[in-house]
């Protein structure tokens, strides 16, 4: 298994100068040789270049928040995987719940994005997670353990199986899964250790089925209102190999403290 991973998703925040300054602060705080965990900064497209140049020479990687499912052509407003690689990205987030639920991204589009990203040399962070209604429905059926589990795991199974469908076994090392319960993203509500453990364990089993012998090497991140106050507990959960951080990655102090908690 590779190092633990901390991914800071800035979403649609920070102008270029702010992004340059902020990424510089994180790079300086960590120092050039930081290697206790892998840190990835994921600014908006407009700030990729300034952040990339500010973190060059550090061990921090650059990532993008989205990608289009074709490599080039008449797709006004879209950005392709080769363009991201050319801009210095090593990583791309695919299937974030804000894209699935606000922008209507489908499992099929997500499969194309994963496939093209990996074939262009990017590492993909595939986000999956259930909605509040899906979790509540599973809880309502909790008198029957098997039904409860089936309902709870079903959206995650569909999202992962569909997204990874076109990958071959060799490509498994370029995939990271981020379990992000939709109801916990940007809401301040985070999943309990037990809730996280149950889903991460399920994802681990599913990955072992899809990639026999290799699924254990795929990192599984947790995301959803991760902050300094809950990072230690989250990282103590078995099968949590790092975190995807939204809001708390926009403060140098809290993001640095989260990185240090993960790096140990």
* Binding stretches for ligand PEP (CB under 6 A): 9, 11, 96, 180, 185-186, 223-226, 244-248
**Is 151 or 245 the residue whose CB approaches ligand PEP more closely?**
245
Q: Which element (helix H / strand E) includes 239?
A: none
**Is 84 or 248 the residue whose CB approaches ligand PEP more closely?**
248
96 among known catalytic residues: yes
Q: Which of 96, 195, 200, 239 is catalytic?
A: 96
180 among known catalytic residues: yes
Written as six digits, the tokens of 13 are: 């925040």
**Is 215 or 224 the residue whose CB approaches ligand PEP more closely?**
224
Burial 152-191 (b: 16+ CB within 10 A, else e): bbebbbebbebbbeebeeebbebbbbbbbbbbbbeeeebb
Supply the minimum distance, in Å, between the C-beta of residue 190 and ligand PEP.
Answer: 8
Q: Alpha helix (H) ranges present in the chain?
A: 16-30, 48-55, 81-86, 97-101, 107-119, 132-140, 145-164, 193-210, 231-235, 252-263
Supply the minimum distance, in Å, between the C-beta of residue 209 and ligand PEP.
Answer: 26
Residues 6+ apart with CB under 8 A from 24: 54
Nearest C-alpha neighbor of 20 from the set 59, 49, 45, 57 = 49
Q: Which of 98, 130, 180, 195 is catalytic?
A: 180
**Is 125 or 211 the residue whose CB approaches ligand PEP more closely?**
125
Residues 6+ apart with CB under 8 A from 194: none
Supply the minimum distance, in Å, between the C-beta of residue 35 and ligand PEP.
Answer: 24
Supply the minimum distance, in Å, between the C-beta of residue 218 and ligand PEP.
Answer: 18
Active site residues: 96, 180
């Amino acid at each position: 298994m590779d190092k633990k991973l901390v991914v800071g998703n800035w979403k649609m925040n920070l102008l270029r100068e702010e992004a340059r300054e902020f990424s510089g602060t994180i790079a300086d705080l960590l120092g050039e040789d930081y290697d206790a965990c892998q840190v990835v900064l994921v600014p908006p497209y407009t700030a990729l270049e300034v952040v990339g140049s500010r973190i060059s020479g550090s061990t921090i990687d650059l990532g993008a928040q989205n990608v289009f499912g074709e490599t080039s052509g008449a797709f006004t407003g879209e950005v392709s995987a080769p363009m991201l690689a050319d801009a210095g990205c090593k990583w791309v987030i695919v299937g974030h719940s804000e894209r699935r639920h606000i922008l209507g991204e489908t499992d099929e589009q997500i499969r194309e994005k994963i496939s093209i990203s990996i074939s262009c040399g990017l590492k993909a962070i595939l986000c999956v997670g259930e909605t509040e209604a899906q979790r509540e429905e599973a809880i309502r059926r909790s008198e029957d353990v098997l039904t409860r589990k089936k309902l709870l795991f079903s959206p995650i199974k569909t999202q992962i199986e569909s997204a990874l469908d076109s990958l071959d076994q060799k490509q498994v090392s370029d995939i990271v899964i981020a379990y992000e319960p939709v109801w916990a993203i940007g809401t301040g509500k985070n999943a309990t250790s037990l809730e996280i453990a149950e889903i991460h364990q399920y994802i681990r089993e599913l990955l072992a089925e899809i990639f026999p012998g290799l699924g254990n090497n795929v990192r599984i991140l947790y995301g959803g209102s991760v902050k300094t106050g809950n990072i230690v507990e989250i990282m103590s959960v078995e099968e949590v190999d790092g975190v995807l951080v939204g809001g708390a990655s926009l403060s140098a102090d809290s993001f640095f403290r989260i990185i240090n908690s993960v790096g140990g």
